[in-house]
Amino acid sequence: MTYKLDISPEVSTALRNNQPVVALESTIISHGMPWPENAETAKRVEQVVRDNGAVPATIAVIDGRLKAGLSHDEIDVLAKAGLSVTKCSRRDLPYVVATGQHGATTVAATMIIAAMAGIQIFATGGIGGVHRGAQQSFDISADLQELAHTSVAVVCAGAKSILDLALTREYLETQGVPVLGYQTNQLPAFYTRESDQTVDYRLDDPKQVADFLSAKWQMGLDGGVVIANPIPELYAMDKSLIDRAIQQALVEAEQQHIFGKESTPFLLKRVAEITGGSSLESNIQLVLNNARLAAEIAGELVLSKA
């Protein structure tokens, strides 16, 4: 049994020629949004990366093969299958590879495959983190541990307040993962531009971010970086509205004894249902916004290597 990593011809050519590439995850497609918005968004995100001068590499496992760069048909397969696709974090990758199945990759597994392919910049919506009540449940996303070890920078809109943002910050600090605020001093909370948490450092343009990444990795300081990019003002949600939806979703999760890898998808789905279409539109817009910034940072990063 040997694993296969398929880097699409377009991605592979770009990497060879030192052109910017942006990795994209696939759990957000299968478990993060409903059909058909999930497939439409995945393709729009790729287009935004292209429009901003980089090559998109959506990452997943297809028939047991690791993929950096999916076709539209492959995106549709994962998008239609939804929750029935195996959600793959670090723990789950060997199973889908060994059994020849499809897998939708979380932030952690996407970072792993991106790093194997040689891709350093990754755009998504929100990262996993330390869940509220983790003191009892021990529910801490494997995304955080991956950020500690794997040298990929993740552009996100912060983390949803389904998580305990203060504990998530503490965990990242302990693991040596820098949290950068893009044009902000506050850690954005996904649907809202603000939270009660600060970032470690505020940087105001893509070149500054690329310089930060180069400095870190050139020093041999392996590991990821969180680049927190607030949702555009126009699409930000009312804090009290979203807080109430999250509170309700958390109560339901507890009542229904949802835990482990089902926890995050359950909460995402319920928050989207409770808020109607409005949170989905915000979610789509912030991912597009992150794809744009990631492409710009990837562009600056290749210039610094030229």
Residues annotated as part of the active site: 25, 160
Cβ burial of 293 (10 Å; 0-12, 13-18, 19+) is buried
**Residue 180 beta carbon to ligand PSU: minimum distance, rounded to whole angstroms:** 19
Q: Is 188 in the site for ligand PSU (CB under 6 A)?
A: no
Which residue lies nearest Mn ion, judged by its C-beta? 139
Q: Is 92 in the site for Mn ion (CB under 5 A)?
A: no
Token representation of residue 289? 């916004």
Q: Is 32 in the site for ligand PSU (CB under 6 A)?
A: yes
Exposure letters 152-180 (e unless 16+ CB within 10 A, then b): bbbbbbbbbbbbbbebbbebbeeeebbbb
Calculate the CA 105 to chain-centre distance.
10
**Residue 137 beta carbon to ligand PSU: minimum distance, rounded to whole angstroms:** 12
Q: Which of residues 207-266 bind ligand PSU (CB under 6 A)?
A: 261, 264
**Residue 153 beta carbon to ligand PSU: minimum distance, rounded to whole angstroms:** 15
Token representation of residue 192? 């809202």
Q: Is 37 in the site for Mn ion (CB under 5 A)?
A: no
Which residues are 67's β-sheet partners? 6, 60
Instruction: Name the one residue in this structure whose structure tokens are 């020093």.
Output: 219
Q: Which of residues 43-102 bind ligand PSU (CB under 6 A)?
A: 89
Calculate the CA 46 to chain-centre distance.
14
From the CA atom positions of the chain, what is the Rg in Å? 18
Which residue lies nearest ligand PSU, judged by its C-beta? 32
Residue in 139, 143, 146, 296 binding Mn ion, rule: CB under 5 A = 139
113 backbone dihedrals φ, ψ, rounded to 5°: -70, -35
224 binds, among Mn ion, ligand PSU, none (CB under 5 to 8 A by kind): none
The residue (of 19 and 137) whose beta carbon lies closer to ligand PSU is 137
The residue (of 117 and 280) whose beta carbon lies closer to ligand PSU is 280
21 binds, among ligand PSU, Mn ion, none (CB under 5 to 8 A by kind): none
Q: Is 148 in the site for ligand PSU (CB under 6 A)?
A: no
**In which element (H, E) is residue 126 found?**
none
Contact by Cβ (8 Å): 96, 86: yes
Contact by Cβ (8 Å): 81, 30: yes
Pairing of strands 86-88, 65-68: unpaired
37 binds, among ligand PSU, Mn ion, none (CB under 5 to 8 A by kind): none
186 binds, among Mn ion, ligand PSU, none (CB under 5 to 8 A by kind): none
Chain residues binding Mn ion by CB under 5 A are: 139
